[in-house]
Amino acid sequence: MNEKLRKLADHLSALDRQAGSSLSAESDMLSLIVSGTLNGENLAERYPAFHQTLLENPELRQAFLDALESVEAERAGEQIPMPGAKQTELSFLSAQSVTPVIDIFDKNKWRATWQRTLEQLQAIFSPPELAYRADPSLSEDPWFTLLREEMQVEGNTYDIILDCILSKDNQNSLSTFLNLAVTLGNAPETAGFPLRANLHWGEYEESILVAEEGRFKFPDIPITSVFDQAEIQLQAGFRLTLETES
């Protein structure tokens, strides 16, 4: 266990003695938490007690961030930053969750929100495929699955896929589609249609009306809205909301 993980273990051990925390301070548990966070796990859901402690204890939070930065540097084959260097962002403690945040406002009135970070999207896209549109070795352009989720609201199950492809009609644009299937519960009238889907990605923000199950297309996204064309790199994560139409 490296020095920063050991420091984190000491903090957790102290919390165990002072507050009766159920979290283990063993090195394998700490490595699991840090590794899981770096691999995109939802810390709040997987380790709720630890997540709550992070929110309440600034010293422990700093030790955890130091441990994250240390492991990231080791994975990249880099040296551990010296004290005073820029610290890792706290975005993993925010609402940018892999699973949706569901807000229930009233009966048959709700909103579900998904967020994907820049790092999560960078693992999906292949810059050469966007830079070189007409590769004669490829019979068709690749599809990119941005989100594939299942959620339950008011007894119904909603299966959602958000994917995109380079636009065939508008050069240097992405065509993005929302696929929705609903498995009804005991009250079919609560399916919620029509629904409003809103996609906010970089400089792009558009909404579409979803009147029923099926496949729906958002207006094309200019690649410059979400990519740095000079370096063919993504510039931002996205937020997708699906809500009942008022």
Report pLDDT digits (tens) over 75-112: 555 544 444 444 444 444 444 446 788 999 888 899 99
Continuous segment of H or E residues that includes residue 242: strand 238-244
Cα gap 106→110, rounded to integer Å: 7
Percent of the chain at pLDDT > 90 equals 25
Q: Which two tokens stand for residue 109?
A: 């009135």
**Which residue would you say has higher pLDDT here, 145 or 131?**
145
**Which residue would you say has higher pLDDT here, 93 or 154?**
154
DSSP output for 164-228: EEE-SSSTTEEEEEEEEEEE--S-GGGG--SEEEEEEETTEEEEEEE-SSEEEEPPPEEHHHHEE
Cα gap 233→62, rounded to integer Å: 30
Q: What is the pLDDT confidence band of residue 136, given thresholds at 50, 70 and 90?
A: very low
**Which residue would you say has higher pLDDT here, 64 or 32?**
64
DSSP output for 58-125: HHHHHHHHHHHHHHHHHHTT-PPPPTTSPPPPSGGGTT--SSPEEEEEETTEEEEEEEE-HHHHHTT-
Is the pLDDT at 22 greater than 50? The verdict is no
CA 13 to chain centre: 31
Cα gap 180→161, rounded to integer Å: 7
CB count in 10 Å sphere of residue 242? 24
**Which residue would you say has higher pLDDT here, 18 or 123?**
123
Is the pLDDT at 64 greater than 90? The verdict is no
Cα gap 23→30, rounded to integer Å: 9
Is 183 in contact with 157 (CB distance < 8 Å)?
Answer: yes
Is the pLDDT at 230 greater than 70? The verdict is no
Looking at every residue in the chain, the average pLDDT score rounds to 74
CA 211 to chain centre: 26
Average pLDDT score over residue span 129-144: 55
* Residue 79: per-residue pLDDT: 46
pTM: 0.58
Q: What is the pLDDT confidence band of residue 133, given thresholds at 50, 70 and 90?
A: very low
Average pLDDT score over residue span 207-219: 95
Is 106 in contact with 44 (CB distance < 8 Å)?
Answer: no
Cα gap 111→106, rounded to integer Å: 10
* Residue 14: per-residue pLDDT: 59
* Burial of 186 per CB tally in 10 Å (0-12, 13-18, 19+): exposed
Q: Which two tokens stand for residue 130?
A: 């966007």
